[in-house]
């Protein structure tokens, strides 16, 4: 698998995948504008799922921008992450955050999440 792709193997696709993370979320990285939930997946690579509702981010343009940014950050930094299933949950006010600030916040929260996951599952 190429290190710079974001194929189907790196995504949470089925409702069962999302339910497993929501039910067994052992790692959390909360932030004012979003939250990352994660659990070990038993695979050799991390996977990502996105939950960005209309209620929290009103306009489709902003939802799509946020999705693009989160997917791109994950794609570029997936080799640094442990084998976890991770869900990105948007909160209200995320659409007010500009792109460079969002990337910095993602970097900090994914780093926290990685430390927690590596500490609990070496």
Name the band, by pLDDT with cuts 50, 70 and 90, for residue 101: very high
In percent, how much of the chain has pLDDT > 70?
96
pLDDT surpasses 90 at 106: yes
Name the band, by pLDDT with cuts 50, 70 and 90, for residue 19: very high
Name the band, by pLDDT with cuts 50, 70 and 90, for residue 7: confident
Q: What is the pLDDT of residue 98?
A: 93
Residue 101 CB partners (closer than 8 Å, separation 6+): none
What's the rounded mean pLDDT across residues 101-118?
90
Query: pLDDT tens, 20-69?
Result: 999 998 989 999 999 999 998 888 889 999 999 999 999 999 999 999 99
Q: Which of 61, 73, 66 is nearest to 104 (CA)?
A: 73
Burial 55-87, CB ≥16 within 10 A → b, else e = ebbeeeebbebbeebbbebbeeebeebbebbbb
Q: What is the 3-state secondary structure (H, E, C) of 32-80?
A: CCEEEEEEECCCCCCEEEEECCCCCCCCHHHHHHHHHHHHHHHHHHHHH
Record the pTM: 0.89
- Count other Cβ atoms within 10 Å, centred on residue 36: 22
Best CATH choice for the domain 8-120 from the list 3.40.50.1820, 3.40.50.150, 3.40.50.970, 3.30.230.10: 3.30.230.10
């Amino acid at each position: 698998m190429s290190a710079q792709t974001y194929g189907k193997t790196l995504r949470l696709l089925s409702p069962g995948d999302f339910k497993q993370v929501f039910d067994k979320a052992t790692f959390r990285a909360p932030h004012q504008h979003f939250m990352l939930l994660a659990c070990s997946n038993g695979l050799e690579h991390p996977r990502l799922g996105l939950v960005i509702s209309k209620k929290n981010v009103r306009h489709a343009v902003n939802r799509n921008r946020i999705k693009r940014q989160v997917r791109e950050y994950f794609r570029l930094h997936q080799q640094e992450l442990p084998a976890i299933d991770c869900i990105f949950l948007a909160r209200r006010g995320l659409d007010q955050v500009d792109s460079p600030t969002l990337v910095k916040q993602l970097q900090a929260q994914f780093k926290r999440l990685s430390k927690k996951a590596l500490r609990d599952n070496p």
